[in-house]
Structure 1
Amino acid sequence: MKKTLFLFMFFFLFSYVVVNKFTLGIIVFIVYMGFALMALKKDNTLDSVIDISFEYSKKSKVVLTIFIFVGALTASWLASGTIPGIVYFGIKFINPNLFIFFTFFITSIIAFFLGSSFGTASTIGIALMAIARSGNIDVNIVGAAIISGIYFGDRWSPLSSSANLVASLTGIDIYSNLKNMIKSMIIPYLLTSLFYIFLSRSYILSTNENTISGLILNTYNLDVRFIFIPVVAIVIFSILRINVRISMVASIILASAVAVVVQKEKITDVIKYLTLGFYKFDGTSLEKIIKGGGVVSMLNAFILIIISCSLVGLFEQLNILYYIKNKIMNVKTRADLFRNTVIVSFITGMVGANQTIAVIMTENIIEKIYDEKKIKRIELAKDIENSAIVIPALIPWNIACYLPCTMLGIGSIKFIPYAAYIYLIPICAYIYYRFILKEKEI
């Protein structure tokens, strides 16, 4: 029964990615099938391949639930005026002499509340890029500031699917994990801010004129007493350390109510938005800015994480992970251990072409090493956040880099030197372990 169910699911998902021309999904499937054939050639039975694939795919269950809520949350915030309100007030108060810095700051704040790097890039990111193009500022620098900001939220938001994935894999409470990351976040954030303030002085926005804020104001009722209720709810629930899924459901319900009462949306339309995404402004100037979300929008992510988890199972069966573990096992200091974690993250990010694969594979490879060295699980989670979460954003063919660049209309290489926050996270963490940490030996 299990074999039949798995094969049916496999062929259904593979048919979906082929019909929808989801290139990355097709590549991941091909890689999976290649390693599955390799496992069969090494005297593994079909049942054993299916069993380990099925077992590891179940690790994605928690994150898949988060994906569903994130998709619905994004659509509800678009319909309620929450995201448009953030965009409107953010743009309104931008200082043209500090445009690049404000781009990073605003994007990081929205990414924190939204918990989605791609969702942030496709909303405020696109809006800020439109302003940059009209103001004759280097789009690669602005794009780098946006990408730095979106991965601030991706790494440090209770709504982030990747942060929840790390917490799930390491067995750490999400809020404890977020609290533990604060120290490793402050210095990189401040250094990045100073870097963008410096760049802002050299790259000044040449005009304040834009139509985005006016269009939003004319389209939405931006009553601040109501449109930010979904955000306030998320913040309060986070402070109270209430389960993130409960807080998201509450925010979705509140945002949906605001959409109906304040924005005069029909209940049936709101339900459609939650399911299929918010696409109300097709053919208008807001089409490229205020859109997206919905549970359906997460289907590609569902497929990637299911196959990614199954792929890691095959790596385990083929002892590929064991080989890498042996290569990095002999470390004597905390700095060496983190350095090896970063190296593994680069390898998994390059091979997997996906942030999720990088996180899952990195955790599988280094988990036992941390346990044997008696490093606390919460430190394991932090090191993964400081490596496998951010490093894929610097690999041009990885979806964590390629997709935001595509959304923003920039190349996937030229922005890298300016994406300060992405590489300052692992650099500062290594410096801390190497020169500051008192107990360097492990």
Structure 2
Amino acid sequence: MKRQPTFLESISTIIVMVIIVITGFVVFDIPIQALLILSSAYAALIARRVGLKWQDLEEGITKRLSTAMPAIFIILAVGIIVGTWMYSGTVPALIYYGLEFLNPNIFLVSAFIICAVTSVATGTAWGSASTAGIALMAIATQLHITPGMAAGAIIAGAVFGDKMSPLSDTTNLAALVTKVNIFSHIRAMVWTTVPASIVGLIVWYFAGRQFGGNTNTSQVNELLKELSQIYNINIFVWIPLIVIIICLLMKMSTVPAMLISALSAIIVGAVNNGFKIVDGFKATFDGFNKDMVITNSGTLTNKAISLIEQGGIMSMTEIVVTIFCGYAFAGIVEKTGCLDVILQKISKNINTVGQLVLATVLGGLMMVLAAGVASVVIIMVGVLMMDMYNKMGLDRSNLSRTLEDSGTMIIPLIPWGTSGIYYTQQLGVTVDQFFIWTVPCYLCVLFALFYGFTGIGIKKAEINE
């Protein structure tokens, strides 16, 4: 017969998961998905202790995963739209004009804006940093700008765009976990992300005034030349962007709007760029690649290749697998009753909105340090804290926002995390060099706490929710 787990049994599932992730991910570099499955195995042992059978756990996992399916559809659609927008030239055009109008006199501010626009367009901070970011670092060297300072503005811009883009996997995941409309989630994040970014822009503006002189923009010119050779950058490349905006303004559901935009992108790529239309459909699955390019210049540089080879459904498989693994753990813990026991214990010590936001932030930071992966933070802390926000009569967008403030924004600052390692390798700087200059990354947490304790920017739940 099933019994309620004790608090020690309940909290042990979380503690063991943290230990497994820290040891496996940080020390042995084991993929996070395998560690989540191992954590699920321990949670299953606790479930067995309280009298549950495997069939009960399957039911719990399936129930939890069923709530993820709408956002998984969106995530897969994101892969399709990125691949087709690369095919049509929509994303490259955004990057092209961003780099073309770079102002050396306000380099740090320009670097933030360019990387923000790029990652909003692609939905990926990594793609922004490895394309426009690398070119900007080369320019910074010519301007004699401190590498860490330049990298800080670049990374902050990349993460800003990733966080605020409806194409981002973490943005969709946070909305999914908290059961919030993605655009409501993005609007909520404006409260913390925009003020933090404004402070960052002020810091970068005054810090950058000490640097001057001319710059050799050969790196940028080379990339611009290649983009203009690959794509016919004109007014038609904006059609897919216009299509999705019109669809969303007409209140069309997100996935159909994305698919219609993707179809228009395939047409634009074939007619405007002269690409094979078959390759447009292939780009929906495997993404756009250099073999689809028609150019008279022969071979492409690695920078151009890393820029255009993005998207496709298969590019989203890792985040989807992570969702399945994370929700397997969450489903077992929830079915066992561990979450209820933990929440009852926590709720006795949380009486205000400020305390609730603080608990969310601390939980997020703990998971960031343990996992170094934003998706795990969003899934675990989101599932654990959601009922608390419901009970306090708060709109869940407050939770989704705080999950990204303490997860997505902090990830680049963790040296052993995937993002920290990636940026270090791509930009040639260490975390301790760029940490202080990624101003919005750590200010978002402070703004989240400020709003929590003052009540400013805290949205109440709708009565009929």
Task: Give the TM-score, by structure 2 length.
Answer: 0.80
User: Once the two structures are superposed, what CA deviation does each residue of 1:118-162 show, in whole Å capped at 9, x if it has no partner?
Assistant: 343344334434444565544433332232223223332333333
Letter matched to residue 219 of structure 1: I
1:91-240 → structure 2 map (5 Å cutoff): 91-133=99-141, 136-203=144-211, 206-210=215-219, 211-223=222-234, 225-240=235-250
Q: Is the 8 A contact 1:120 1:150 kept in 2?
A: yes
Tell me if 1:249 matches 2:259.
Answer: yes
Letter matched to residue 169 of structure 1: V
Tell me if 1:313 matches 2:322.
Answer: no
Distance 1:185 1:318, change over 3 A: same
Q: Is the 8 A contact 1:355 1:398 kept in 2?
A: no
Greater displacement, 301-310 / 330-339 = 330-339
Pairwise CA RMSD: 3.1
Task: Give the TM-score, by structure 1 length.
Answer: 0.83
- What secondary structure, in the 3-state scheme, does the structure 1 residue paired with 2:110 have? helix
Match of 1:336 in 2: 355
Letter matched to residue 247 of structure 1: A
Match of 1:429 in 2: 448
CA distance in 1, matches of 2:416, 2:40: 18
Q: Is the 8 A contact 2:37 2:329 kept in 1?
A: no
- What secondary structure, in the 3-state scheme, does the structure 1 residue paired with 2:307 have? coil
**Aligned residues with identical type, % of pairs:** 26
Tell me if 1:294 matches 2:312.
Answer: yes
Match of 1:15 in 2: none
Task: State the shift of 1:104 in Å.
Answer: 0.9
User: Once the two structures are superposed, what CA deviation does each residue of 1:324-356 show, in whole Å capped at 9, x if it has no partner?
Assistant: 532464233332221111001112323344212
Greater displacement, 188-197 / 30-39 = 30-39
Match of 2:413 among 383, 388, 394: 394
Match of 1:382 in 2: 401
Match of 1:259 among 256, 269, 279: 269
Tell me if 1:284 matches 2:300.
Answer: yes
1:42-121 → structure 2 map (5 Å cutoff): 44-121=52-129
Distance 1:385 1:439, change over 3 A: closer
- What secondary structure, in the 3-state scheme, does the structure 1 residue paired with 2:172 have? helix
User: Which residues of structure 1 form unaligned runs of 5+?
Assistant: 1-20
Distance 1:310 1:393, change over 3 A: farther
Greater displacement, 21-30 / 369-378 = 21-30
Letter matched to residue 235 of structure 1: I
- What secondary structure, in the 3-state scheme, does the structure 2 residue paired with 1:415 have? helix
CA distance in 2, matches of 1:250, 1:25: 33
CA distance in 2, matches of 1:79, 1:243: 24
Distance 1:119 1:212, change over 3 A: closer
Q: Is the 8 A contact 1:117 1:153 kept in 2?
A: yes
CA distance in 2, matches of 1:158, 1:71: 12
- What secondary structure, in the 3-state scheme, does the structure 1 residue paired with 2:167 have? coil
CA distance in 2, matches of 1:439, 1:213: 44
Task: State the shift of 1:307 in Å.
Answer: 0.6
Tell me if 1:419 matches 2:447.
Answer: no
Letter matched to residue 209 of structure 1: S
Distance 1:122 1:318, change over 3 A: farther
Q: Is the 8 A contact 1:328 1:340 kept in 2?
A: no
Greater displacement, 404-413 / 236-245 = 404-413
Match of 1:360 among 376, 379, 388: 379
Letter matched to residue 386 of structure 1: D
Task: State the shift of 1:436 in Å.
Answer: 6.8
Letter matched to residue 280 of structure 1: K
- What secondary structure, in the 3-state scheme, does the structure 2 residue paired with 1:422 have? helix
Q: Is the 8 A contact 1:71 1:293 kept in 2?
A: yes
CA distance in 2, matches of 1:261, 1:439: 48
Greater displacement, 43-52 / 145-154 = 43-52
Q: Is the 8 A contact 1:123 1:290 kept in 2?
A: no
CA distance in 2, matches of 1:170, 1:275: 28
Task: State the shift of 1:168 in Å.
Answer: 2.9
Distance 1:123 1:242, change over 3 A: farther
Distance 1:329 1:353, change over 3 A: farther
CA distance in 2, matches of 1:128, 1:271: 33
